[in-house]
Amino acid sequence: MKALLILLCCTYVNAQTLCDSLSYSVSDSSVLTVVGVNISLDSLSFRWGVCDNTTCYSASGDTAYFPLVSPFDTVKVCYDISPQWTCSDCNYVILIEGSWQVVSIVTHVNEIHSSPVSGKIYDLLGRELKRIPTNNMYIRNGVLYK
């Protein structure tokens, strides 16, 4: 009896929901093409929402094509299968060397250039000082001195 109870408990904890069985992929093409992936036994239809910087487009079905999406924008791709179930997901895609790629939230990185050394002295409020203070912290060439 204890073994049956443990088996039922573990089976219940490891059970997946329908939403865990859904994902999508982006086809290797210059036209944004999304393909819904359903590894569950349930029959369903994906509803798609795709937005660039100026316009949003919608489609339904397992595969959807979005030829009017701007290839110069970071595009938000979302799917939804409600009202049957409440499952949805969104990601960003960008066009890289002729094919759309899923990216993380970070879409760009700015390079930081170090400023030239000036030798000026500042207090902790950013006010420029004429001389090095005694018994107070100060900043010189980006370094904090105590």
Of 68, 125, 19, 57, the C-alpha closest to 136 is: 125
* Cα(33)–Cα(66) distance, integer angstroms: 6
Name the residue among 14, 15, 23 with its Cα closest to residue 81. 23
What tens-digit pLDDT sequence spans the chain (146 residues)? 554 444 444 444 444 678 888 888 898 888 999 999 988 888 888 999 999 989 999 999 999 999 999 988 889 999 998 666 678 888 999 998 888 988 866 556 666 666 667 889 999 888 999 999 988 899 998 889 98
Is the pTM for the entire model greater than 0.85?
A: no
Question: Mapping DSSP to helix (H, G, I), strand (E, B) and coil, where does residue 118 land?
Answer: coil
- Residue 82's Cβ-count burial label (10 Å; 0-12, 13-18, 19+) is exposed
Beta-carbon contacts of 36 under 8 Å, excluding residues fewer than 6 positions away, are: 22, 23, 24, 46, 61, 62, 63, 79
